[in-house]
A and B are shown apart, each in its own frame.
Chain A
Amino acid sequence: MDATESLPTLETARKLGLLPDEFDKIVDILGRQPNFTELSIFSVMWSEHCSYKNSILWLKTLPRDSDRMLAKAGEENAGLVDIGDGLACSFKIESHNHPSALEPYQGAATGVGGINRDIFTMGARPIAQLNSLRFGDLGLPKTRRLLRGVVKGIGDYGNAFGIPTVGGELYFDECYNTNPLVNAFSAGIVETGKVAKATSYGVGNPVFIVGSATGKDGIHGATFASEDITAASTDKLPAVQVGDPFMEKLLLEATLEIIATGHVIGIQDMGAAGIICSTSEMSAKGEHGMIIDLDKVPTRQPNMAPFEILLSESQERMLVVIEKGKEAVIQGIFDKWDLNCAQIGEVTAKGENDLGRLHFYRYGELVADVPAYDLVLGGGAPQYQREYKEPAYIKEFAKFNPDDVDDVTADELTDVAKHLLSHPNICSRRWVYEQYDSMVGTANRSTNAPSDAAVVSVKGPGLPATDKSIVITVDCNSRYVNAEPRKGAMIAVAEACRNIVCSGGEPLAVTNNLNFGNPYVPEVYWQFVEAVQGMGEACRRFSTPVTGGNVSFYNQSSDDGPVFPTPTIGMLGLMEDPAHRMTMNFKNEGDLIYLIGPSSDDIASSEYLYSYRGVKAAPAPYFDFDTEWRVQEGIKTMIRSGWIQSAHDVSDGGLFVALAESAMTGDKGFAIGTDARHRTDAFLFGEGQSRVVVTITPDQVAHLEGYLNDSILPFQYLGQVTAQGFTIEDKQVLTSHEAKALYNTALDTIMN
């Protein structure tokens, strides 16, 4: 190494985001002072984003196993779940919060690109995408600019890439004013015998970089994502990457082709921390080293420094290790797709004292010599137990007493109904989803048959024919999680399951996106610890293991403090038999409407309480796991017995909004009574959990009620599906026309 280069100091390490202890540890690992390139390598690999250093100890408490699990959390780029008949579903969710806060269009676009590469690097062809978006107060011009940019970014990337965006969630609260959350989910299908691994072995096997050329964009992006956002953050614009969906589409096709040759030893996409991340993670996994000549990496600019090439987060690139002697086969495929394909090095043996070292050369000189194992999560990367403390607000919220809130009067119902149906958290998301191609691939079964979760046929070029569908959803009511992190996270899991069950699927597994504030703040870390424990408990009880996901800390600003703790649940379900399909829209005038699940006097943390009554301090709503479980099992039985015409879960906005959504999507109305045993506002607008609205044709009454009585499920008859109008206790609250006008155009009106 160049002896004339002055070695960096602890101060440089600090600027790169490393702690003094971490600097000492690096010196210890290397047995000498690191040079700047090496220090940069450690700083990104040990950043929160790559190392999960402040979360991994708690993540390990999540359930990670089931009969269907083909790759456990953290083993591969994404979770891999056996869906039978020799097929597996690879699925994952990932955040691009910090880039989207600064440059919403590219931030969101590259988020979509990154999550899809995680899927197809395993050999799986993506078939559907979802996204979970959270923004601040929609009254602010800045929020509207961010929403516009993010939606356009997701649309332009996903639409050109050619994988449908089939659902998602959108939520507004002022806690996200500075830090929006952009979580992208993708699911793909692969034959179980054709799964590619993120590994590297076989001394002498060639190492290729394929796809886009490497530029100076996104350098230290991973470090950037591991800091609070400040006014100076816009100075970091070069840390945001730029996406090219056309390149991604070509890379998808070429990648699946090379994997199909059987000559690929290992492959990994280049996301956070670029070449250094892929070389170290693959080498550590395969317990080999690599020798890499950085001069051979195709670059966009001349004279890039070694750390720039190593850390660049230029998009649409893959690192591939193949069998020696098969270079021409791989080259031929990339030539066909007009993509870069450059051999940049080869696999080396592990040493006597290490599991494999990475040697990087530039202009003939060794510029970095680091052990792969010590860089990576699960290897030598630091793992911290952070201190945590219950925030003071929790006890305040618990003091909430619904008796202090007036119940709604009959005269107020129309007012509340209008408020909720036109509220940005509840109204139609049409303004957003019509900007996404939701139908490419001709597999989205929800376009003409709406349901609580998206149902997507398992099909794609080269895949064997099957009747199976995947049933997917993303869910998290972060207001509940903020109010009570443990219970709120359990509700997020339960609601995801409920959505899948109401659509005819069987919940299988979870990917999570844990969006939190600064982990060094004990109150924030308490939210994290509680939420992870709640999620773990719910996932164990629903037998839906966590297959992986993403942690995004530092969603916090000096102005607004931390965002609501937001552990987004992405859930995969399976529908084996197309006949099990269930939809949410009311079908026939005269059908009978039932509420399955318990009614209560609960209005806690409902949209009604929060934004109509203006009461923001309240605990999470009612949730009882056993009731939830029995309701979901009951819904499965009702669907499979063919008794019910529709099923729709009661969530944001309560029973009234659930009825309104089923009525509007079915072009019908409803007439129901209320329940004298409960507050009217709680009955209609409360968000107590474990409730589903179902409809039946009148000839099924005996079947349904007989079953419900036998299984001791709580239920009540609500009323009937009508031709039009929303009628409560014989009084029309809204006409169908008024309701649709409010619901369908609320977001358009604000955004256009």
Chain B
Amino acid sequence: MKFGVVVFPGSNCDQDAVDALTLMDQQVVKLWHKDHDLQGCDFIILPGGFSYGDYLRTGAVARFSPIMNEVIAHAKRGGYLMGICNGFQILAEARLVPGVLLRNTSQKYACKNIYLKPQSSDALLTAGLDKPAYKIPIAHGDGRYFVDADTLNELNDNGQVLFRYCDEFGNVGDDSHNPNGSIDHIAGVCNLEKNVFGMMPHPERAADPMLGNTDGRLILEQLLKGALV
């Protein structure tokens, strides 16, 4: 499988995504935001960072980048697309996944390890995850996921919730384990067709054994199953 990591001006987790996938022996290229060529990539990743400085709403400018025309077309064709952190915010702005990302309830940026409980039993990203909780870093100021009540019901009914924040044992529900005030503790969602994935936490930051935590690699490895489809 060939991965493409889009580089927007202000992206700063692009290299981390490349490094994590390279550690997993995957072919991966960077895609420049001004280009219109996905270089034959099967799986597109929108990385974390502060695209265009995020001085407007997070992700609001990046969704109009030239390459987003091709990225959106790729997704509409059923191609795989994943947004991590700022990438998730861009996906939400582009309406490729439901919902919006608001300012954390603490009103502060937060960077720390949190725990995730996999939810959807049929999404590529989570179907094969069997640990009760995965320790993954977050790093964001605008990570509070929000949707209206009807959409929330749809997400739950359709198995579109990928992850919920939880404690180290996988228990969901205590607000003290929800780092940003996300509705229903949601940390990541996918579209109805389940080929576009968005999540605030950073699995690529927990892929290198040198860093003492490889739970993120277990999540990213699920993507490789997409090649078999």
Contacts and interface: CB of A to CB of B under 8 A. Distances in A.
A445 B55 contact: no
A230 interface: no
16 contacts: A152-B108, A155-B109, A159-B109, A160-B10, A160-B53, A161-B12, A162-B13, A162-B50, A244-B53, A336-B34, A434-B108, A437-B111, A437-B139, A445-B211, A448-B113, A449-B212
Given A160-B53, A439-B111, A447-B137, A460 B15 contact: yes
Nearest to A752: B106
A440 B17 CA distance: 11
Interface stretch (B68-76, B89-97, B148-156, B201-209): B201-209
Contacts of B202: 439
A246 B11 CA distance: 9
Contacts of B108: 152, 434-435
Given A439-B139, A445-B210, A578-B210, A160 B54 contact: yes
Contacts of B9: 246, 249-250, 337-338
Interface in A217-246: 244-246
B212 A447 contact: yes
A441 interface: yes
B210 to A, nearest CB: 6
A514 to B, nearest CB: 31
A159 B52 contact: no
Contacts of B111: 159, 433-439
B60 interface: no
A440 B16 CA distance: 8
Interface in B171-187: none
B132 to A, nearest CB: 19
A690 interface: no
A246 B62 CA distance: 13
B19 interface: yes
A245 B205 contact: no
Contacts of B15: 441, 460-461
A510 B13 CA distance: 30
B15 to A, nearest CB: 5
A442 B110 contact: no
B112 interface: yes
A246 B202 CA distance: 21
Contacts of A447: 113, 137, 211-213
B125 interface: no
A440 B12 contact: yes
Interface in B16-74: 16, 19-20, 34, 48-50, 52-55
- The list of the 3 closest CB pairs from A to B, nearest first, reads A162-B12, A246-B53, A448-B212
Contacts of B12: 160-162, 249, 440
A442 B20 contact: yes
Contact of A435 (B52, B110, B137, B213): B110
A162 B137 contact: no
A696 to B, nearest CB: 21
Nearest to B106: A752
Interface string B129-152: 000000001010100000000000
A457 B23 CA distance: 15
A441 B16 CA distance: 6
B112 A246 contact: no
B16 A457 contact: no
Contact of B213 (A440, A448, A459): A448
A245 B50 contact: yes
Nearest to A247: B53
A122 B205 CA distance: 28
